[in-house]
Amino acid sequence: MEVTKLNHPLVEHKLTILRNKKTGTKEFREIIGELSMMLCYEAMKDAKVEDYEIETPITKMTGKKLNEDNYAFIPILRAGTGMLDGLIKVMPNAKIGHIGMYRDEETLKPVRYFFKTPKDLDKREVIVLDPMLATGGSGCDAIASLKASGAKKLKFLCIIAAPEGIKKMQEEHPDVQIYTAAIDEKLNDIGYIVPGLGDAGDRIFGTK
């Protein structure tokens, strides 16, 4: 599938603030949430809605509603949780799971230490969250784990993606649509996205 990249002046504006090393923790968190909300809007363009009868202050009418129980948000710990606020504002009743992973700094490969998801993944659209799609290792491993647990329809949302991560994701999971706010130049020799924004987890939680 083609990568869906947000193209909007407001997104460019927010990304510039996000990338700036002078941006503080509070503002960084807020912008991650705002961009995540925008990504959610884009990812939900194909959402199925049903007729719903209501009465406005003026008259009766037929509106449209979607069933939020049909969706599950799965952030990859820990940085992925920084994206949750934005998505919950859009769909507060969606189910939430967590996948705990960290990157081995020597091998750059993901190590999984936690996996807890809602039941009936096969009946839900599963949206995986991770701010950075760098090598693609964590994202691919998380998606493989979710597929093994029954998930059939998955999407991947990230703030910034590297070409290497996109390539790996498309090779291993060509059925998963990627949504991102930016596609950067490359990875450096230690697996960080260039120009990137540094370590998203550290900047979200103020741990460095």
pTM above 0.95, yes or no: no
Residue spans of alpha helices (H) in the chain: 9-19, 25-43, 84-90, 137-148, 163-172, 200-205
Number of domains within the chain: 1
Whether 130 is catalytic: no
Q: What is the mean pLDDT of the chain?
A: 93
Residue spans of alpha helices (H) in 48-162: 84-90, 137-148
Whether 16 is catalytic: no
Whether 29 is catalytic: no
pLDDT in tens, 72-112: 999 999 899 999 999 999 999 999 999 998 777 777 677 88
Whether 107 is catalytic: yes
CATH number of the domain to which 162 belongs: 3.40.50.2020
pLDDT in tens, 20-35: 999 999 999 999 999 9
Query: Which domain does 160 fall in, by range?
Result: 4-205
Q: In angstroms, rounded to a whole number, what is the distance separating the alpha carbons of residues 183 and 79? A: 18
| Catalytic hit among 112, 202, 203, 207 | 202
